[in-house]
Structure 1
């Protein structure tokens, strides 16, 4: 018999004999398929599971090689494995496996076609599902659970590295703990407490903070009359909880303690755990987010589904060690979000520590789904975490999110999820939380892997559909034309979205007979093909068309043009440029679309579609807008983002070389940004939109727009540390610049790509790009471009501690800047030379160059450059023992950074100033500066605050 084992090392066995499944990566591929045996796994998901964030360059090819080898293991050619297979001992296994398991190609992925009972993890979960039937006798439950526990052979996926394997291990261990507790409880119910003592004692040693395990062990000890031992167990775990978590025992453990005190039976796992307060373990106040969208007034129906959601909430109390997850699934427009938000409002008092909500946009037609990393980042912000304190590593970010929710009762609503992989990083670890997911997919792997509760949302009943329509248009009006109401409900297929749109038209036209609407629906044909309900009389395109036809001509034109746009949302000024009108003229058109429920103003002056409406608008844009008009509209929109982005970039870096932009299309009105803060806010709001704009420009063959859009975003990306996300976009920009045969654009793009690679410490790749850029700038005679590139190379060498190499390029940058007559660049280069000399220990030379840099910065009015140079001067003076001069430079730089509102650099300067005071022997002055720095760093939640505290502690010891 064939067996796949993952509850231990990954193995394939035939009749108990081990079959060679290949090297670790190949076994990783097998495990990635086996845990979802019987269900297709997408190629991208397989790659992520096997290699995580570091796939090889030809990951798909390598994966295909592993799959081919696995197929030979599982499906040998006819005629047997041959002499070599017999010699290795694996041939018999291959022959036996041939008829029991197959690797099957599915659209975009692969499926391991095998009986789930042949995979130990799936058999384990199947036995748990059978045992959950509370109607079964305790003996039967205990037997099933014991069989499940006996399948374990050690640490799951023990020989596999990576985040995915770690997540699976974590989930498996949680399920094993739950199964062990359930098995012990079943044995206690059948009067067999002695049988559970040894396994539970081992489990307590393995999981010393798992309260349900300790609680059931205490109950077993009490059942045997060993109450004193039970009380000792309680005292030990209470001490561990206090010391390690700063927490008190939960309700179930306290119940077992009370039972041991009085010598009576304790309550079982079904008691509801007591929640913690709104303060963390150290007593620090934690924000209470309340992110639920508005509930729908007059919500009707869905009683059965609401009861099922209530049952999920109650079931969570019976699983005090596992977070409760519910998946609400159904077709688009069926009302998943409406129901989820309504139910969340009904039960939010059960979650006093907060409610988190995110629209994951998993089925956005543009493919611009919200990444798990961005969603976790947003949740951390809602929980009070400062942006710079959010880890860059996705795993660390998720770990921080789960730590903040530990012990808190929070409701998490994940709306419009694409798949289980998008959801998993957003699941808390706290059993006091509940997660409600909505999706068009059933997310069966989430049900199988995380024990999620599936709730399917179907079409409305006839009564509920008629009730919804009556509530929107008025009960009297609906009662006056019951036949028309029935026909409208049938034509809308009892789909809430279709009903709501049609009801909006009826409500805004109170004199229009309902029978006229019914006749229009009956006569209309051709609805949205992708959303056809199976009945030719129910056509969503007809529903949307009727609302669209009721618009004014200008609003209808804007609706069609919005369908040409691929971004996740659009701001009012961008919509104006898309339409080629002023903001004043587009504002009432947007209001008309929102009033007609054809557009949603999800943030002030920012608009988005429901995805069905987006598909409808896109079809109209393709069919009803003439080709030249479509091309002009797309170019206007791209010009809007390009010219506004360029203006924003120049505000962030006034001394940068401007791009040689072509004049914008007629009708484009770039946004007016007054200062650096507005520029930063614009870039922050438009990041996902700019990514979509780059893609749209590529699709339209506008290569110059591609590389220039990416270039305008470079300064913001660099200051925000977003190179990991934007580096592939930079590579696409380089390809576009090369296609456009624009050597200046290619040179600039290569330099920016090199900057991103250097930021990510890929210095060899970066310098290769820099060398290409230098050659191109040289061919063009662009001295400033060469200078910028030399300065970038110098900085890259400095990042590696190669200051002598960096010095040569800083000097070359200075010469090129002088040839270009670029005073601001000369100042930057002089400061870079001075800093390199300081790092090489020649502080006198450092002073010479930095003083020249300071004069030029002051002459050009480059305040940030002046402050940075003063910092360099202070460093050189300090290391020459000239503490008074150093302190003076640091104070002047400090004032400039304060004027700029740059608190991070202000804190750094305070630390430097304190260092100088300490070196000069003025420990009181040093302490004042360091304390001020700690105050700022604490306010910014910067970990360097502890480094400065260590300096203060050092003063105290001396």
Structure 2
């Protein structure tokens, strides 16, 4: 008997046979499955299959190739499931087993039902089938260009219909956040705007509704040259007349998995887990509050793992450090930036302001089913900006605070975590200690009482006893006699001393492990890697690994990710106390750690540098044997920076605060190269500002010049133009005093970018021409090529396309002998733009396609969209409307994946030739990588 086959296409393809997941890795075989599934039970012609599998570059015998793929599919699913018909092939499976067909059937049921509640139920069930973009990982131009857009439109209509029903069911205020997200994602979609205005109107927010109408009317007029549809105009007229609303009939993305590891041997907490289940079922926000060390994070992480399959779009996690004794709480903007990174939003699309980033974050989560775990929040104010606006997402917040603000403003359901029952605490100790605990029940019960059933204290104590089972009674007596320490975490019983509990594990450490624990507690950053720990201790990696393992076994460190170690806030506080008594070992250890970070950061910066960046600082002499990590190529460099980025940011501050100015500025310089690639301008401004304060004690003004230049660039991209100009002018003065022509030239390039971003193209060109003159004197090929391209782009901004071809052409000739793919792509983009302006559309298409090939190697999706936009316009101007439409479809799909915020201008440009649009900020032109 053939298996029951289920095929999901509304997101990444999932193929199940009798419930068993079947992996299909071949691209065309996936396309064949998708096309047959869309016509389940009906014949699909061979011609249709050929079109779906090969848009171009047909094989020598397309029909035979189709037969080959069908044979492979039969071997995978069973011969009887795919039969041959007169004209083609039939996949024999129930339509309901294909999510696309089930989605369409549910929409039809909603159409045919007069009961609004039943209509809503059908629509809700249909929308729940969506896990991402249709045919997300199926490579077929036919599916992407025909079926995908059709389904996406049906999905939007279904969302609007369900919202319209909810509006009629009397919940207008609840719908406003959803509608704001929908209109932000689709700013020219009038049915969504009409629903938003009606929701505002019915919520009594007449003035806001009028303002929103004017906003959409202006946009429709400016971008499409049309007036709003009658439905929108009717709402507007009603608002002006202040008449009550009439009832309107309903209108007919790599997944992040950021949860920390689950705790093995989780014990009890059945009541708390049930409360979390109930809270999650009744509200999009749940809070877990309780005293420090009671097990809030352990419970939340364990529960999150148990329900992860309910959130197919992923799980986000951040430790907000609300009660860290040494480090400030995480700024919500930084947490949002981290989430946007995890959601693969290109840095160029992330707004500079906090409100813009929060809006983009909410937009990215709209329509997705995601779990967000906000751990260790300080208060409701810190957590509130991180709440998604979508009701399909669930947010769990843990905190020592009761988070009453979230209950009031977000309708959060609260779980207050008390100390566990004695039976659960006893079971935890027995599991950790083993059989001896079951024999000495009285001693175990006293241990539980002395630890006040505080789970963190119990875990540390039990781990220490487990290593030496005969010490159980002795350790209990020691704890009984202890007093004082970590007063904020004392329980009602005055004999309970958490510091004493920590000391059990610490005192049982070997000397080297105890020293490492003290040093790690005072090291900058949230965690530490193996190589950095080795440098901190002055050991090699082979020697430090057993010490880290010893600390992990003692529960004084935990391995958060392979090779990276951190500790609970309380343990860091304890380690920091211990380190404070040994200043003589702490300061040399910090110097060794800074040496390690600097040496590795400089090495990692090399493969990421443009050939135009030839400068490299001379690091200070190391304080001990260098334990730098080997960096092999750009992928390894990016991976190292990604793992260490937060720690390096903290290391710059530590170096600046604790008297290591050279380390501070050189770390800032190396880190800026990574941050620049990611567009993290706020972080660039932060580290270079910190470093600039530190280096003022030095006699050397060279680093000051570099820091002013880097700060000026960052402020330019943050649109702080006056600050940018001031820093860049200061850098120019200092470089001139040193007769540093390269520094002057690069600063002039940066000034050109700042002027271009403000629309002052003549001034921008003047700066670029001055930079070009300096690079000619210097004779640096890469710098000269970049300056030539910048001048060419500047002429293009002024409509002087022949001059653009002259300068950019010279740049391309130089770049042919260099390995600077971004510079080459930027130059080809400039040449394509000029050819388009001169009417040489075939040449423009060739340049843009060559630029795209290079950009795809660099994984620069936003830059690709910019060039795709110009490529589409050149196809259209050449008379190939079909090619233009295909390219625009690809670009629009990419923009939909990235999110709307920050791309409105670019999206609008996809509907109009590029020469009629504002293009001065196009990053692949002459302004790229100044």
* Band of TM-score, shorter chain: 0.5 to 0.7
Aligned pair partner of 1:466 in 398, 415, 426: 426
Cα deviation 1:854-874 (Å, max 9, x = unaligned): 333334443432332233233
Aligned pair partner of 1:587 in 545, 551, 563: 545
2:911 matched residue in structure 1: 950
**Inter-CA distance 386–941: structure 2 relative to 1 (3 Å threshold):** farther
1:812 matched residue in structure 2: 770
**Inter-CA distance 518–935: structure 2 relative to 1 (3 Å threshold):** closer
Cα deviation 1:322-352 (Å, max 9, x = unaligned): x364433222111122333455567778888
Q: Secondary structure at the match of 1:773?
A: helix
The answer as to 2:628 corresponding to 1:670 is: yes
**Inter-CA distance 236–379: structure 2 relative to 1 (3 Å threshold):** farther
**Inter-CA distance 395–806: structure 2 relative to 1 (3 Å threshold):** closer
Aligned pair partner of 1:494 in 449, 453, 462: 453
Unaligned runs of at least 5 residues, structure 2: 1-169, 175-197, 206-244, 916-930
Do the aligned residues in 1 keep the contact of 2:346 with 2:678 (CA within 8 Å)?
A: no
Cα deviation 1:119-177 (Å, max 9, x = unaligned): xxxxxxxxxxxxxxxxxxxxxxxxxxxxxxxxxxxxxxxxxxxxxxxxxxxxxxx9997
1:507 matched residue in structure 2: 466
Alignment partners' CA distance in 2, 1:949 and 1:837: 23
Q: Secondary structure at the match of 1:327?
A: strand
Alignment partners' CA distance in 2, 1:385 and 1:896: 20
**Inter-CA distance 484–175: structure 2 relative to 1 (3 Å threshold):** farther
**Inter-CA distance 631–927: structure 2 relative to 1 (3 Å threshold):** same
Alignment partners' CA distance in 2, 1:428 and 1:906: 29
Do the aligned residues in 2 keep the contact of 1:793 with 1:806 (CA within 8 Å)?
A: yes
**Inter-CA distance 353–714: structure 2 relative to 1 (3 Å threshold):** closer
1:239 matched residue in structure 2: 249
Cα deviation 1:787-827 (Å, max 9, x = unaligned): 11112112222222222222222222223234434232222
The answer as to 2:633 corresponding to 1:633 is: no
Alignment partners' CA distance in 2, 1:816 and 1:674: 34
So what's the TM-score if we normalise by structure 2? Answer: 0.65
2:717 matched residue in structure 1: 759
1:420 matched residue in structure 2: 380
1:837 matched residue in structure 2: 795
Q: Secondary structure at the match of 1:761?
A: coil
Alignment partners' CA distance in 2, 1:302 and 1:671: 43
Aligned pair partner of 2:398 in 434, 438, 442: 438
Cα deviation 1:641-695 (Å, max 9, x = unaligned): 2222222222211421112322433233222222222222322332221221112
User: Larger deviation: 670-679 or 894-903?
Assistant: 894-903
Q: Secondary structure at the match of 1:472?
A: helix
Q: What displacement does 1:743 show?
A: 0.5
User: Larger deviation: 558-567 or 812-821?
Assistant: 812-821
Aligned pair partner of 1:553 in 489, 499, 511: 511
Aligned pair partner of 1:328 in 257, 277, 288: 288
Q: Which has the larger radius of gyration?
A: 1
Residues 435-834 of structure 1 aligned to structure 2 (within 5 Å) = 435-474=395-434, 476-510=435-469, 512-524=470-482, 527-533=485-491, 535=493, 537-623=495-581, 625-627=582-584, 629-655=585-611, 656=613, 657-834=615-792
Q: Secondary structure at the match of 1:416?
A: strand
1:68 matched residue in structure 2: none
**Inter-CA distance 676–405: structure 2 relative to 1 (3 Å threshold):** closer
Aligned pair partner of 2:323 in 363, 383, 393: 363
Q: How many residues align?
A: 679
Q: Secondary structure at the match of 2:287?
A: strand
Q: Secondary structure at the match of 1:950?
A: coil
Cα deviation 1:437-476 (Å, max 9, x = unaligned): 22112233334444545544333454443343223223x4
Q: What displacement does 1:734 show?
A: 1.9
2:870 matched residue in structure 1: 912
Q: Secondary structure at the match of 1:581?
A: coil
1:47 matched residue in structure 2: none
**Inter-CA distance 381–561: structure 2 relative to 1 (3 Å threshold):** closer
**Inter-CA distance 207–415: structure 2 relative to 1 (3 Å threshold):** same
Cα deviation 1:870-921 (Å, max 9, x = unaligned): 3323333433344555455445444444555545444544443444454445
Do the aligned residues in 2 keep the contact of 1:731 with 1:753 (CA within 8 Å)?
A: yes
Unaligned runs of at least 5 residues, structure 1: 1-173, 179-201, 210-234, 244-285, 317-322
1:876 matched residue in structure 2: 834
Do the aligned residues in 2 keep the contact of 1:737 with 1:749 (CA within 8 Å)?
A: no
Alignment partners' CA distance in 1, 2:606 and 2:701: 22
Alignment partners' CA distance in 2, 1:387 and 1:457: 39
Q: What displacement does 1:562 show?
A: 0.3
Q: Secondary structure at the match of 2:249?
A: helix
Q: Secondary structure at the match of 1:781?
A: coil
**Inter-CA distance 208–927: structure 2 relative to 1 (3 Å threshold):** same
Q: Secondary structure at the match of 2:696?
A: helix
Q: What displacement does 1:548 show?
A: 1.6
**Inter-CA distance 784–757: structure 2 relative to 1 (3 Å threshold):** same
Alignment partners' CA distance in 2, 1:238 and 1:469: 63
Q: What displacement does 1:421 show?
A: 0.8
Alignment partners' CA distance in 2, 1:307 and 1:897: 50
Q: What displacement does 1:747 show?
A: 0.6
Q: What displacement does 1:305 show?
A: 4.7
**Inter-CA distance 738–902: structure 2 relative to 1 (3 Å threshold):** same
Do the aligned residues in 2 keep the contact of 1:386 with 1:941 (CA within 8 Å)?
A: no
**Inter-CA distance 393–413: structure 2 relative to 1 (3 Å threshold):** same
Cα deviation 1:29-72 (Å, max 9, x = unaligned): xxxxxxxxxxxxxxxxxxxxxxxxxxxxxxxxxxxxxxxxxxxx
**Inter-CA distance 566–534: structure 2 relative to 1 (3 Å threshold):** farther
**Inter-CA distance 591–723: structure 2 relative to 1 (3 Å threshold):** same
Do the aligned residues in 2 keep the contact of 1:930 with 1:952 (CA within 8 Å)?
A: no
Q: What displacement does 1:390 show?
A: 6.0
Q: Secondary structure at the match of 1:739?
A: coil
Residues 296-335 of structure 1 aligned to structure 2 (within 5 Å) = 296=263, 298-302=265-269, 305=272, 309=276, 312=279, 316=282, 323=283, 325-335=285-295
Larger RCO: 1 or 2 (CA < 8 Å, sep 6+): 2
**Inter-CA distance 632–849: structure 2 relative to 1 (3 Å threshold):** same
2:7 matched residue in structure 1: none
**Inter-CA distance 884–348: structure 2 relative to 1 (3 Å threshold):** closer
Alignment partners' CA distance in 2, 1:903 and 1:288: 17
Alignment partners' CA distance in 2, 1:488 and 1:839: 76
**Inter-CA distance 869–616: structure 2 relative to 1 (3 Å threshold):** same
Alignment partners' CA distance in 1, 2:203 and 2:277: 31
Alignment partners' CA distance in 2, 1:937 and 1:205: 31
Alignment partners' CA distance in 2, 1:786 and 1:400: 37
